[in-house]
Amino acid sequence: MGIRAGALGAGLVVVSLLSVGCADRTRTVDPPEKQEPGSPPDGNEVPSDGPPVPSEDAGTPPDAGTPPDAGEPDPEPPEPPDAGPWPVEAVLDYSNSFGVGKPQSVGLDEGLNLWLLEGNRIGVLRPGDTAPTWTTGVGQARQPFGSDSLAVGSTVICGGEAGRAYVGYRAREMQRAPGISQRTYIPGPGETNYSPERYAEYQKGDLDAVRLQPDGSVALEEHIWRTTGSSNKGKQIGIHNTNDFHYEEDRSVLNCARVTRGPYRGDLYITTNHGVTRIQGLTYNSHRHPGWYLVTTNPDGSKDESLQCPPMYGLGIAPNGDVLVANEQMLGVLIPSGKLEEWDREYTWTGPTPWRFKGFNEALNGQATDDFWRAFEQTTSGRYYLGSAEYGVWAMTPKTRSAGNWTRVSGLPTNRILSLKATDDGALYIGTDGGGLWRLEADGTMLTQVTQVSGRRVLQLVYEPTVTPSMLLVLTEQGLTVLRGP
C-alpha cells in the first residue's frame, strides 16, 4: 500500500519587488545602448547592489575520514541500497504488467506512487496494486474541456510529496477588452474597466493540486492560488504574475519537474506560455523568463520595443540544483535561493536568484527566429544539451555568461526531439518524435538506440534517482516502460 497524505504546505506572504508583462507591452524609446551580445534587459530588471553570482565550483567533497586503527572494532556495514517498492527488472513494460494503458503524462511522488494523466481522468498506481485506480472530472476537469470552459485540455502531471500530485491545464489565449491596452491585464473589483466575465478568466487553466484518497481514488486538494506577492494576498484566482495580480500571464502549463534531491528537494517547477514558476507545497512564485527586446522603427523615426517571452517547454534540473529553462527562442540557467519569495527578483547576473547563463543558439538561428526548444538537460560531465522539435539535439558549453560553443549531435534518425533526460551514469537519453528512444554515452560520442522500449514517439522521460537501481520512466505512444539502473 502506498504512502499517503502529509501536511499541507503553509502559505507565505512576502512583499515582492517588480511588475512586468511580456510580448504584449510596447513603449517608445530612444535607440538602445550597445549591450553585451545575448544579454538584453528582461524588462523587469532594476539596479542592484546584490551579491555576486555564486561560483560554479561544485565545492570540495567531504573528507572520507581516517581508517580505524587495527585495534578498533570494524565499522558497521553500510545500509543496503533501497530498491523501492517497484520491480527491479532492467526493462519492464508497465502498460502490459500493470494495465496503465497509454497515458499522456506520468509522474512519481515522494511516496513512489505512480500518477497517470489521460484527458479528463487521473490514475494512481500505488505500490502493491496490480492496476491503477482512475478518477474522472477532478478540479479543472469537472467541466467538459473547451475554449469557454475552465480549461481547453489537460497537459502534464507531476508528483509532489507522498500522496500529492499536480495537474497542469491549458487555457485559451487572452483577448484585449475595450479600454484595456494590455491583453493580459485584468482589472479587479472596484477598478476602472472591471468586468466580472474578464475577472473570471483567472479561474481558467493553471494548476491543480490533487490528493490520493484511502481507496485509491483522487480528490481535488486545491486549485493553486497561494502566492508570495502582497498584491495577490487572499485572492483565490489561480496562478498569475506574483508582482502584480492584474497580469494573467501563466494560463497554460506546458511542463513540470519535481526536484528529487539536494536542499530544495520537493520543490516543483512548471513552465507556462510565459515563463517558469516555482512552487513549494501549495504556494507559488511566478515567474522568470529569459526575455529579450524586439525593437521596431516607426514611420516617424521613433522606436518601439516589445518584450519577447515565447511559450516555454524546456525544463530541467541540473546536478547541482540549477534550474534549466528554454522557450522557443532563448535559454537560461537560474540559480535558486533558499527563499521562495526571491524567485521572481530579477537582477540578471546578481541578486538572490541570478542567471548563471542566458542567451540563444547563435549557431542555429537569429535571435528573433524560433528554435522550438522542447527539452533542456545537463549531464554529469557539465555539458548542456537542448532538444528542438525541428532542429535536433545540440550540445552547449558556455564561453561567456551569454554565449556558448554549440555543436549539433549527429547520428539520430530524425531532427524532431520531444524529450531528454540526463542520468547518474553520465548518459543522456533522447526521446525522438518518430525514431524511438536513444542513448548518448557519457563521452558524448557513442549513440545507440534503446530497442527494448516500444513506440516511435517518446512523449516524456521521468527520472527517479532516489532508489537503487534508479528508475527511468519512458512514456511513448505505445504506453509506459520503466528502465532500472541508468
pLDDT (tens digit per residue) in 122-170: 999 999 999 999 999 999 999 999 999 999 999 999 999 999 999 999 9
* Model confidence at 25: pLDDT above 50: no
Enumerate the β-bridge partners of residue 167: 157, 208
Q: Is residue 247 part of a domain?
A: yes
* Model confidence at 459: pLDDT above 70: yes
Residue 13: which pLDDT band, with cuts at 50, 70 and 90? very low
% the chain with pLDDT above 90: 74
Q: Is residue 254 part of a domain?
A: yes
- Predicted confidence at residue 205, as pLDDT, reads 97
Mean pLDDT value of segment 395-410: 97
The more confident residue out of 180 and 465 is 465
12 in Cβ contact with 340 (< 8 Å): yes
For all residues of the chain together, what is the average pLDDT?
Answer: 86
CA–CA gap between residue 331 and residue 289 (Å, rounded): 9
283 in Cβ contact with 226 (< 8 Å): yes
* Model confidence at 346: pLDDT above 60: yes
Least confident of 58-62, 275-279, 291-295, 335-339: 58-62
Query: How many Cβ atoms from other residues are within 10 Å of residue 82's Cβ?
Result: 9
Q: Is residue 477 part of a domain?
A: no
At 392, the amino acid letter reads G
Q: Is residue 402 part of a domain?
A: no
Phi then psi for 160, rounded to 5 degrees?
A: -125, -135
Task: Tell me the longest C-alpha to C-alpha distance in the chain.
Answer: 90
How far, in Å, are 177, 296, 358 from residue 37 at the CA level? Answer: 37, 18, 10
- Sign (positive/negative) of CA torsion 318, 459, 287, 291? positive
Q: Is residue 277 part of a domain?
A: yes
Residue 280 lies in domain: 99-288
* Model confidence at 55: pLDDT above 50: no
Phi then psi for 231, rounded to 5 degrees?
A: -70, -20
- Predicted confidence at residue 181, as pLDDT, reads 77
- Predicted confidence at residue 251, as pLDDT, reads 94
Which residue from 308, 319, 324, 209 is spatially nearest to 269, judged by alpha carbons?
324
% the chain with pLDDT above 70: 84
* Model confidence at 3: pLDDT above 50: no
* Model confidence at 35: pLDDT above 80: no
The set of cell numbers assigned to 19 is: 511588475
- Predicted confidence at residue 182, as pLDDT, reads 83
Q: Is residue 188 part of a domain?
A: yes
The more confident residue out of 32 and 253 is 253
- Predicted confidence at residue 54, as pLDDT, reads 40
Q: What is the pLDDT of residues 354-400, one digit of tens each?
A: 999 999 999 999 999 999 999 999 999 999 999 999 999 999 999 99
How far, in Å, are 206, 232, 458 from residue 242 at the CA level? Answer: 14, 7, 34
Q: Is residue 344 part of a domain?
A: no
Q: Is residue 156 part of a domain?
A: yes
The set of cell numbers assigned to 339 is: 527563499
Mean pLDDT value of segment 408-412: 97
The total number of structural domains in the chain stands at: 1
